[in-house]
Amino acid sequence: MPRIPNTPSVRTFVETWTSELKEAAKKAAGKDGRLTVSEARKLAASSGPERFFADNALDYFKATGKKSVSVEVFAKEMTAYAQRAAELAAGGDKRLSLADGAKLPQNLVEDFFMLRGKPAPGSTPVTPGASALPQVQAALEVAVTGLLMPSETDASFKFVKGTALNGAPITEAVVRQMLGAQHDALLPQVMYVDPSRVPLAGRSPVEQRDANAFLDRIIANVDPNDPGMVALGNQFSALKAALNANLTDVTVFRFGTIDISTFIVGRTRTGELAGLLTGQVET
């Protein structure tokens, strides 16, 4: 039976989702009111609707590095996450159609369709020509909301996408070909750069790095005594989790010197190139 109406408002979806999430967490946590990693794993084995929230809890623990959390804190932080995600998916009318629901981050899509009383995309045969790009974009844009890449300047993040790779490896040449025009349009929005240095075609040398190691270095370099830096580290952990949940073959390419164009890209489950453009300044 549907728990939310057709095309619910963002507020209706988030309030209903939070209520269901909180009840599932309470049931798993028991008398002490604290949810643990092992209790979150048990949610996945449940036969009831609480199983839909297991991925939310496990992703939370993976992103924060915590071993346990009070149900109240967990619900509050996840409400903010769902709010941002739903607003991005809904667009200007602030209402969520089934098509909008499919654009939510992966760990919210099944929840939304369960609340609508509908089968989630993927539980039925995939429509020929369907793409995972909208869902990937929603997940990554939520993960980088308010996030800046630390270096000698702060740079924002912009979503970039290519076409189907048809099994080909992700290389420098592929990134230049598929993402060059987007890079040239978006880089001035990401960080300040001399206009003559914007075009990707003229940027060299190129450095390729393992994406997880690249992000782990940022996460490990935070000051544990600085709450702001701890929050930054947690958000980069959440970004790492979002990338790995939605993409495979995740790789970093850095183009140029001094003002460096930094791509974090991978392959969607439907085979397209997708990821994020940011920047770094290193003198």
Collect contacts of 114-119 with beta carbons under 8 A, ≥24 apart.
114/49, 114/52, 115/2, 115/3, 115/4, 115/13, 115/16, 115/17, 115/20, 116/2, 116/3, 116/4, 116/6, 116/8, 117/1, 117/2, 117/3, 118/2
Would the pLDDT of 122 be above 60? no
Q: Alpha-carbon Rg of the chain, whole angstroms?
A: 20
Which has more pLDDT, 62 or 77? 77
Phi/psi for 48 (5° steps) reads -95, 180
Would the pLDDT of 125 be above 70? no
Check the CA dihedral 84-134-275-123 and report its sign: positive
Check the CA dihedral 144-215-133-246 and report its sign: negative
The CA–CA distances, whole Å, from 199 to 142, 193, 255, 260 equal 27, 11, 10, 12
Percentages helix, strand, coil for the chain (3-state, rounded to 5) are 50, 20, 30
Q: Are 268 and 247 within 8 A, CB to CB? A: yes
In the prediction, which pLDDT does 109 show?
87
Task: Enter the pTM of the model.
Answer: 0.63
Percent of the chain whose pLDDT exceeds 70: 96
Would the pLDDT of 126 be above 50? no
In the prediction, which pLDDT does 120 show?
67
Q: Are 130 and 136 within 8 A, CB to CB? A: no
Would the pLDDT of 9 be above 80? yes
Q: Is 223 exposed, middle or buried (0-12, 13-18, 19+ CB in 10 A)?
A: exposed
Which has more pLDDT, 107 or 255? 255
Across the chain, mean pLDDT equals 89
**Which residue has 């005594």 as its token pair?**
225
Could you tell me the domains of the chain?
A: 10-116 (no CATH), 133-282 (3.40.1460.10)
Residue-wise pLDDT tens digits, 192-227: 999 999 999 999 999 999 999 999 999 888 888 888
Lowest mean pLDDT among 50-64, 111-125, 137-151, 161-175: 111-125
Which DSSP letter does residue 254 get?
A: E
- DSSP states of 69-134 as a string? EEHHHHHHHHHHHHHHHHHHHHGGG-B--HHHHTTS-HHHHHHHHHHHTSPPTTSSPPPTT--SHH
Cβ-Cβ contacts under 8 Å for 55 (sequence gap 6 or more): 44, 106, 107, 110
Q: How confident is the model at residue 231 (pLDDT cuts 50, 70, 90)?
A: confident
Residue-wise pLDDT tens digits, 37-69: 999 988 877 767 888 898 899 888 888 888 999
In the prediction, which pLDDT does 241 show?
85
Phi/psi for 159 (5° steps) reads -70, 135
User: Which of helix, strand or coil describes residue 161?
Assistant: strand
In the prediction, which pLDDT does 29 show?
94
Mean pLDDT, rounded, for 93-104: 89
Lowest mean pLDDT among 45-59, 71-85, 167-181: 45-59
User: Which of helix, strand or coil describes residue 34?
Assistant: strand
Residue-wise pLDDT tens digits, 248-277: 899 999 999 999 999 999 999 889 999 999
Which has more pLDDT, 170 or 2? 170
* Helix (H) / strand (E) containing 52: none
| Dihedral of the alpha carbons of 20, 269, 65, 27, in degrees to the nearest 10 | 20
Spatial distance between the Cα atoms of 227 and 249, rounded to a whole number of angstroms? 32
In the prediction, which pLDDT does 121 show?
61
**Which residue has 């496990």 as its token pair?**
58
Mean pLDDT, rounded, for 161-166: 92
Mean pLDDT, rounded, for 180-193: 95
Spatial distance between the Cα atoms of 18 and 24, rounded to a whole number of angstroms? 10
